[in-house]
Structure 1
Amino acid sequence: MVTILQYSADVTATTISTYRSELSAQLAQNLGKWSFELKMYKPNPASIGRSEHHNGNIPQGQQEAAAADQEIGGVAALYTLTQAHSKGDMVYVTQGSAVQSQPGVVVSDSFDMVLQNKMKSIWILRQTLRGDGAEYELMGDAYGRVKVRLANVFLQGTFRGLLFQYEYEGDSLDDRQQQHLMEFIQSSGFPSSNLIIGGSGTGLVQTGTQFVEALAQK
């Protein structure tokens, strides 16, 4: 599969209803609810600061600030992504000091519990982004079979924007398909900027790096 991702912050929480109505007008098949969860873990200051920053004269807050830019094995942040349509599978993606996502790994969704329970002395959960929306399917000779997913994005319960995901069958997306997708986006009135095409890896791994690129700084 090939995915294209897009995040728009210049919307309201009710904008999604307008876009869902437009998809229905395009005779897209409603496949039901769709959701995702992207979690960001940072190195635990207590573990990486134990030798370098541990000093009784340094306040705890300063120790944490000093440790915030530290890395564990070259990793400054670790992200986990779960999506409703890929039940049982989770992608984790790492970032280093260059702020570039490294190829992710597909693991069981129980890996998240391992991070929070077994590895909390090393990694601390810092941020959780959740998306709630719907999934549709388009079929046509122009662009083939495309699944369109859209969701409102929330950070700790606060609305942050709207995310679109376009998923194609196959291993690549040719220029003709990209052109027809852009025509569909424009004719539907969807946002047409900030499309994230490609990314490290393929399949779910590619999708994971796209999510990090789109949402990591939100």
Structure 2
Amino acid sequence: MITSAVFLVQDASTNSITTLHDRLATEIPKMLGRWSFELKIFKANNQSAPQRDNSDGFLYDLAVDYDPTKSVTLVNKTAIVTTTDVPGSLAQAGCSNGSPDTLGQILQLKLQSLWTLRQVLKGDNGNGYELRGGEFVIRAINVFLHGNFKNFIVLIEHHSNSKSNKTRELSIQKIESLVEELELPKGRLCTDTLSDGADYLSNVIAQLVQAFQT
């Protein structure tokens, strides 16, 4: 079971990632290499699709390069994970051309009358670390909007063999303790989840949205 959380650093700069790298060096981490992500934010076209009372009118689409065959879309606190990894048997049977569009691409190319792309938040050249024998994974990255620095975030994962709700609570406590031990700068830890059975990417997008909305 992977329990995730997103830590948004307050008053960050483009050098914050270097400061964190130096602090993590004392943990003698296993380097996982560079990573990036892209979070697209769409706004509903009210004329084409009148909003429900419980809707905020936004749709979010996330892609991360360390899981390149998947993307996750969030709307009204409901997430759906789509994949471009099509079984060869389906392509051979003519059910797929072998390279399907992601949901984000479909929204931009075919559903423009319903959803308008408003913003694209990008994280490039982030650093990934594995700590304490694989118990924790940390992914740190600078976030840019229209090419300008916007935020610095740290995605923290705790890995456990158990899958119970109590395990998740304990994992969050361990993540909170790790944040204190690493003496991360002042910030906010976002731990939103969509449901008890939500998958990893669905929880990550919920936590990113929680972080960027504050």
TM-score, with structure 1 as normaliser: 0.76
Question: 2 CA distance for matches of 1:134 and 1:74?
Answer: 37
Question: 2 CA distance for matches of 1:137 and 1:129?
Answer: 25
Alpha-carbon offset, residue 146 of structure 1: 0.9
* Structure 1 unaligned spans of 5+: 49-69, 96-101
Q: Which moved more, 1:78-87 or 1:189-198?
A: 189-198
1:85 aligns to what?
Answer: 66
2:182 aligns to what?
Answer: 188
**For the structure 1 residues 180 and 207, does the alpha-carbon distance in structure 2 shift closer, same or farther, using more than 3 Å as the test?**
closer
Question: 2 CA distance for matches of 1:198 and 1:41?
Answer: 21
Identity of aligned residues (%): 28
1:152 aligns to what?
Answer: 142
User: What amino acid is aligned across from residue 158 of structure 1 in structure 2?
Assistant: N
Match of 1:134 among 120, 124, 127: 127
SS at match of 1:47: coil
Question: 2 CA distance for matches of 1:41 and 1:4?
Answer: 23
1:71 aligns with 2:71: no
User: What amino acid is aligned across from residue 207 of structure 1 in structure 2?
Assistant: V
Please report the RMSD computed on the Cα atoms of aligned residues, expressed in angstroms: 2.3
Superposition pairs for residues 36-115 of structure 1, below 5 Å? 36-44=37-45, 47-48=48-49, 71=51, 75=55, 76-95=57-76, 102-108=77-83, 110-115=102-107
User: What amino acid is aligned across from residue 71 of structure 2 in structure 1?
Assistant: M
Query: Do 1:2 and 1:202's aligned partners in 2 also have CA atoms closer than 8 Å?
Result: no
1:15 aligns with 2:21: no
Look at both structures and tell me which one has the larger radius of gyration over its CA atoms.
Answer: 1
SS at match of 1:115: helix
SS at match of 1:36: strand
1:98 aligns to what?
Answer: none
**For the structure 1 residues 167 and 149, does the alpha-carbon distance in structure 2 shift closer, same or farther, using more than 3 Å as the test?**
same
**For the structure 1 residues 17 and 203, does the alpha-carbon distance in structure 2 shift closer, same or farther, using more than 3 Å as the test?**
same
TM-score, with structure 2 as normaliser: 0.77
